[in-house]
Amino acid sequence: MQICPLSYHHPLFDALPFHPKVRAAVTPRPARATALAAALLAAASAGANGKDFTVRMDPVPGGTFVMGDAMGEPDEKPRQVAVAPFEIMALEVTNRQFAVFVAETGHRTDPERRGFGFVWDGRWHRVQGADWRRPSGSDSSIAGLEDHPVVQVSARDAAAFCAWAGLRLPSEAEWEFAARGADGRRYPWGDDPPEQDGIRRANFGTVPCCGPSAVDGFAATAPVGSFPAGASPFGPLDMAGNVWEWTASRFPGKPHEVALRGGGWGNNPWCLRVSYRHGNPDDIGLDMVGFRCAGEMR
C-alpha cells in the first residue's frame, strides 16, 4: 500500500490554525439566472487560445457498478452501487470560468476569507495569501493559466459555482462511475499505467510518490483536456490527474470532511486510480485540488 498525502490528517500537512469543526459562516448561495450563467461561461470558454473550452456536458447513463477495488486501500472495499442517469462536465472548471462566476456574483472564496491556502512542494505548507488568483502565495498569479483548472477553492466554493451554473457537484458514486464505467477498470482509460510506450494519459507527479514532475511538460497544473488518451469511457478528460476534484459526498466517519477523487499533478499512479479516496475539510483550499460539476440528464 502507498500513501497519497492529501488528507490534512497526514503528517506532511501543516496544522490548521483552527479546529476543523469551527467553520466559517456558510457562503451565501448566489441567486443568478442559470441561462445567463451558461451564456457567460460559454462566451468566456469558447475558442480560448485557439482551443475550444466550451462547457461540454457528457451524458452518463445510469447503471449498476462495483465501486471500489479489492486490491486497493481498506476504504475501497468493493460494493455494488446503482447510479441514476446524469451529466458531468467533460473538463475541470478553469480559472477563466471561475473568474466569470466571481465577476458576476462577487463570491469570496474560503481561502480568501481565511487568508491562506495549502501549497504542495513535497509536503503541505499553509501559505498566507494563497488563493485562487494567487495559487502559490502572494507573489504568484494565474496569468497564462487561464485555461488551467482553478485551484485554491474549497468544496463550498465549488458547490457555489456549480449552483450558479445550474449544476451541482457529483456524488462520490457518480464521480467514480463517470470515471470508469461498469467494467471494473483501474483508470479511466483501462488498466494500463498512466504512462506507457511513450503515451502519457494524465498529468501526474513523480514515482515514487509524490513530487511535481515536468516529464509531461507541466510541473504543476496543465491546461484542462491536455491528455486526450486519458478519456473515460463516457468522454470526460482528466478524471485521473491534473487536479483532485471535490465531490458532494461527506467522507465516511468524518462528518466535517468532503470526499475528493482522481489524484493530482503531484501524485503517483497509485493515487490516480479511479477508486482511490481522500477526505478534507470543506472550507480549505489547496493548489492540487479543483472540481467539475454534474447535472441532471436533460
Applying CB under 5 A, the residues found at the interface with Ca ion are: 238, 242, 262
Q: Of 101 and 175, which CB lies nearer to Ca ion in the complex structure? A: 175
| N-term to C-term CA, the chain | 41
Q: Of 13 and 265, which CB lies nearer to Ca ion in the complex structure? A: 265
Q: Of 41 and 202, which CB lies nearer to Ca ion in the complex structure? A: 202
Q: Of 40 and 67, which CB lies nearer to Ca ion in the complex structure? A: 67
Q: How far is CA 248 from the centre of its chain?
A: 12
List Cβ neighbours of 264 (8 Å cut-off, separation of 6 or more). Answer: 6, 204, 205, 241, 242, 243, 244, 271, 288, 289
Residue pointed to by grid coordinates 466550451: 54
Q: How far is the CB of 43 from Ca ion (least distance, A)?
A: 25
Q: Of 40 and 178, which CB lies nearer to Ca ion in the complex structure? A: 178
Q: Of 7 and 242, which CB lies nearer to Ca ion in the complex structure? A: 242
Q: How far is the CB of 141 from Ca ion (least distance, A)?
A: 22
* Dihedrals phi, psi of 119, to nearest 5 degrees: -125, 135
DSSP state of 229: G
Q: Say if strands 124-128 and 195-196 run parallel, antiparallel, or are unpaired.
A: unpaired
Q: How far is the CB of 48 from Ca ion (least distance, A)?
A: 19
DSSP reduced 3-state for 61:
coil
Q: Of 174 and 238, which CB lies nearer to Ca ion in the complex structure? A: 238
Q: How far is the CB of 22 from Ca ion (least distance, A)?
A: 30
Q: How far is the CB of 240 from Ca ion (least distance, A)?
A: 7
Q: How far is the CB of 92 from Ca ion (least distance, A)?
A: 6
Q: DSSP H helical segments within the chain, as ranges?
A: 34-45, 95-105, 110-114, 155-164, 172-180, 269-272
Spatial separation of the C-alpha atoms in residues 25 and 11, rounded to whole Å? 28
Q: How far is the CB of 91 from Ca ion (least distance, A)?
A: 9
CB 170 within 8 A of CB 37: no
CB 156 within 8 A of CB 26: yes
Least Cα distance to 129 among 285, 290, 288, 289 occurs for 285
